[in-house]
Amino acid sequence: MVFFGHRTPHAATPGRTLLVVIFQVVGLSCLYLVLRYQKRSLRDIGVKLPIPIQEIGHAFALFFGALPLAIAVGIVLFVIYYAAGHPFHRTFNDTALFGTRITIWTVLFVYLNPFHEELIVRGFLITEMEHFYKNTGLAVFVSVFLQSSYHLYQGLAPAILHASTFLLFSLYFVKTRRILPVVVAHLFMDVSALMIYAHRLAK
């Protein structure tokens, strides 16, 4: 029902957002412990500091490059939905993600989320799968599929649109083996979404 927009998730509460922040911190802590147990570091999954200025440019390119890609995928989805007789319009309510008001937990969630998602589901997962299965294509597919699957609460079409961005991010990572530009691009997206939502709340 949620997939086609007939039902939407409830608005996020400050308490629920706090739990998400705790989940993100625990996830990143577990990643650190796993890497330490493996006698590796964050550098082995693409975290290379300091980040060169040109890689900030790469982050902007990823950020703006995801837009035309999403538009192209959106056009294809529109045709498919129209042919299937389903309305293709935005049904996800941003209150389910940000709540009815912006709190310190909302801001922390937005800033932690890119690190939580990209370090674990992109950098670590792809690196591990390549190591065990020696197949970069499979690693990219699993990463994109997993990351898209937990966005299905927004609906099927938005999750597919997200998948196009996640694919772009994954291809950049496997080509460059650097994850921070992807994290920064994801951060640009999340902060932009929060700023747009805050502007709507202020009206």
In a domain, 113, yes or no: yes
In a domain, 162, yes or no: yes
Q: Which domain holds residue 185?
A: 14-41+52-202
Percent of the chain's residues with pLDDT above 90:
72
Total domains, the chain? 1
User: Exposure of 4 by Cβ count < 10 A (0-12 exposed, 13-18 middle, 19+ buried)?
Assistant: middle
pLDDT tens per residue across span 41-60:
999 999 999 999 999 999 99
In a domain, 185, yes or no: yes
Q: What is the pTM of this model?
A: 0.90
How far CA 76 is from CA of 70, 87, 167, 174, in Å, comes to 10, 14, 17, 26
In a domain, 5, yes or no: no
Cα separation, 187 vs 63, whole angstroms: 9
In a domain, 90, yes or no: yes
In a domain, 124, yes or no: yes
The H or E element that residue 23 is part of is: helix 14-37
pLDDT tens per residue across span 78-89:
898 888 877 766
